[in-house]
Structure 1
Amino acid sequence: LYAVIGNAVAIIIAFLLGGERSLITLGLYGYNAILTILAVSAIFKSEHNRFSFLSGIISACLTVPITAGLSTYLLPYGLPALTMPFVLCSWLFLGARKVLPNL
């Protein structure tokens, strides 16, 4: 269920931000969003934290502009972004977890 929601959120955000349709249909934006929502929601899931699902959705939304930015930045070097947006977004939320425990 998390994977479907993460992919849907990524597609919507990519369309809203004007992402290339070919990249959206290939799933390049959705892949990192799926990995991120699974990681963040699973790590933050606990009985006293009711915001783990919301944190996962926010992190999935953030992977779309990070994916677009990294792809644009790395393109002149001939390098793909691959899962770097997933790693960066997951680290961002893991770091924020120490400062904001209810995130």
Structure 2
Amino acid sequence: FTDTERLIGDAAKNQVALNPSNTVFDAKRLIGRKIDDPVVEADMKHWPFAVVGDGGKPKIKVEYKGEDKTFYPEEISSMVLVKMKEIAEAYLGQTVSNAVV
């Protein structure tokens, strides 16, 4: 996440050194877990981005467009899947409606 856009894939990797606290990875590791899960607590020690609790569920906290925002890990995964769909459609030159990931 930057002040102006969401970056996914290589674009995000290329700016991680400049913006580590807003560069999210490993979101899938949070899906289905509680904020007080020992695995989540251990992972949080190694991540440069913040993870906060919301009703016992973990949410990833970033600064986006000048505001603090929080996203569930499922939302982050959704953003990645949407980008994957866009890339596939651009490569194939047609709409993708059924895919297995």
- TM-score, length of structure 2 as denominator length: 0.30
More helix by share: 1
Larger Rg: 2
Identify which of structures 1 and 2 has the higher relative contact order when contacts are C-alpha pairs closer than 8 Å and 6+ apart.
1
More strand by share: 2
Q: TM-score, normalised by structure 1?
A: 0.29
